[in-house]
Structure 1
Amino acid sequence: MTTLIAGANNEAELYSALQKIDISVPGLSEGRTTKHTEIWTICRLLSSLAHAGKLTYPLTVSHTDKPDFFAYLGDAKIGIEVTEATSQNYAKCRALAAREFPDAIIDLGLFRPGKPKLSAAEIRKSLSEKRLRSEGWGGNSVEHEWASYIQERVDEKLIKLSRYNTHDCQETWLSVYSNTPLPNVHQQEARDILFPLLRDYWSRTPTFAALFIEKGQTIIRITVEGWEKFTLHDLWRPSGPAVKTIENFDDDVTDEGLWNEIMRQPSPTKRKRL
């Protein structure tokens, strides 16, 4: 067990401790480990919850295993499990592309939820073709697939939760880093699709008291009572005006027709029917 945060008495002390932690994550082909992703996720979660006034002090956080972290918030002990919602086929494809096919076009449509595991040979074949073969997305299929990715990770972690060392925890949280191989996800609609899928989870024993999802520039908190979202508070990004990126563009689009016109239509330069 490694102490990550030692007795931060207030928000300022927590920020100071967090900024001293190296949260850099190597590339997939450059030695990335599960620990890198866990540290990245927990630090950004703590920073965002502190900024939103959702933490209790003094706060101590230890890095352990099963669950990944213990957080002591005042008198409460919270177990926090961290995971990543992604496609293993997609992760393997990105790693192979980085090593062997740096100019390849990655066809995101090949990595749908529930797809069987692809062999390295199958992925290499796809990368070598330099063309898009899959169907695109229509309507709200992107949001349904995103919700499926999150639900799959929650299901997998719930199955294992009874074996975790959380018997003396007041609550256990699940923090999910969303790294799904999808075009831009409209977060409002995706949340509305996901919430009913989790409805029966809250009555299970054991279960997670809260689910946190990092998606782009947002942290989404879901409990039995509903959901709320916080702006990601990134202490590690240089100060300056907010930069519009492909990750945070989706929340600013409210006109569904405009949204579909911009994001859901295939680009003639990128997708051709073959």
Structure 2
Amino acid sequence: MAAKPPAPKEREVIHARRIDDLPARLRAANISVPGWAHGRNSEDAELYAVIRLLASRRYGMSEFPLTLKKRERPDFVLALNDVVIGIEHTEAISQNDAKAAALRDDGHGPKVYFSKPASVSEPPKTSKQLKEEILADEMGDGWVGDSAERGWAEAMTHFVEKKMTSAQGEGYTRYPHLWLLIYDHWPAPALDLHKALPLLRTQLEACSAWSIFERVFILDEDLIVELNESTENIHCVNHSE
């Protein structure tokens, strides 16, 4: 009989016995995220995002004690008293935008530049190609009509589907509840959420996202969009500083 794989290691990030303890625990665990060219790693982004998620939601007295642990597959486990929730994290960014951001952090191109549409299906570009584009800093075709909202909804669905596949894989720990937290870097200037969310909801229903994730949270630097099977809410981000 094959040996069972070792249990994933867990590290406690936050433990708050009472609701009044939570703000200080969040501040103590809070981090900043280095630039793409300066030692940034996936755990930095995961911690940055989950701290802001926990700092931005409302709590009841019955949800304490609260404990957050870092682990793998899923990335976190959150205990709200006797309710146990797995939290999976992903970053929504195109591979070319991530590489371009690293080049910009390393000093290539102007600090202020034109934002361009991205696609989840775009082929990877070489560093040479991206440096040439960064230095040229051309406006490009930009966004027409509701293309920003459609592109954003398509991208969010793409990253949800990738995590759906991961959550159903071998070695993934199942908890009674599973949330997905998306750290959103997708280019969508002046995004109109009132137009974008119905598009996203239609696509999430089509791919059966709610059969895997109880809630999906989409975080940027200002807002958190919270979606479940029937409702959505928008929260201001508390940076816990």
User: Which residue of structure 2 lines up, in the alignment, with residue 65 of structure 1?
Assistant: 72
C-alpha distance in structure 1 between counterparts of 2:60 and 2:146, whole Å? 33
Amino acid at match of 1:120: S
User: Which residue of structure 1 lines up, in the alignment, with residue 172 of structure 2?
Assistant: 165
Aligned pairs for 1:158-237 (under 5 A) are 158-163=164-169, 164-167=171-174, 169-200=175-206, 201-202=208-209, 204=211, 207-236=212-241
C-alpha distance in structure 1 between counterparts of 2:60 and 2:109, whole Å? 43
Q: Deviations over 1:200-239 (max 9, x none)?
A: 42464xx111101113422111111221222222221xxx
Segment of structure 1 superposing worse, 140-149 or 107-116: 107-116
Q: Compute the displacement of 1:67 (Å).
A: 0.6
Q: Compute the displacement of 1:97 (Å).
A: 2.2
Q: Deviations over 1:171-197 (max 9, x none)?
A: 111001111123221122111211111
Q: Compute the displacement of 1:55 (Å).
A: 8.2
Q: Is the 8 A contact 1:105 1:131 kept in 2?
A: no
Give the share of equivalent positions with the same residue, in percent: 27
Q: Is the 8 A contact 1:218 1:229 kept in 2?
A: yes
Q: 1:151 aligns with which of 128, 153, 157?
A: 157
Amino acid at match of 2:28: K
Q: CA RMSD in A?
A: 2.0
C-alpha distance in structure 1 between counterparts of 2:61 and 2:127, whole Å? 44
Q: 1:139 aligns with which of 140, 145, 161?
A: 145
| Closer, same or farther: CA 39–54 of 1 in aligned 2, 3 Å | farther
Segment of structure 1 superposing worse, 176-185 or 57-66: 176-185
User: Which residue of structure 1 lines up, in the alignment, with residue 49 of structure 2?
Assistant: 41
Q: Is residue 4 of structure 1 aligned with residue 13 of structure 2? A: yes
Q: Deviations over 1:47-74 (max 9, x none)?
A: 1113x65982111110011111011111
Size of the aligned set, in residue pairs, is: 230
Q: Is the 8 A contact 2:224 2:237 kept in 1?
A: yes
TM-score of the two chains, using structure 1 as the length reference: 0.78
Q: Is the 8 A contact 2:117 2:143 kept in 1?
A: no
C-alpha distance in structure 2 between counterparts of 1:20 and 1:233, whole Å? 14
C-alpha distance in structure 1 between counterparts of 2:25 and 2:152, whole Å? 33
C-alpha distance in structure 2 between counterparts of 1:195 and 1:232, whole Å? 22
Q: Secondary structure at the match of 2:143?
A: coil
Q: Secondary structure at the match of 1:72?
A: strand
Q: Secondary structure at the match of 1:211?
A: strand
Gaps of 5+ in 2: 1-9
Amino acid at match of 1:60: T
TM-score of the two chains, using structure 2 as the length reference: 0.88
Gaps of 5+ in 1: 237-274
Q: Secondary structure at the match of 1:144?
A: helix
User: Which residue of structure 1 lines up, in the alignment, with residue 38 of structure 2?
Assistant: 30
User: Which residue of structure 2 lines up, in the alignment, with residue 92 of structure 1?
Assistant: 99
User: Which residue of structure 1 lines up, in the alignment, with residue 7 of structure 2?
Assistant: none
Aligned pairs for 1:245-264 (under 5 A) are none
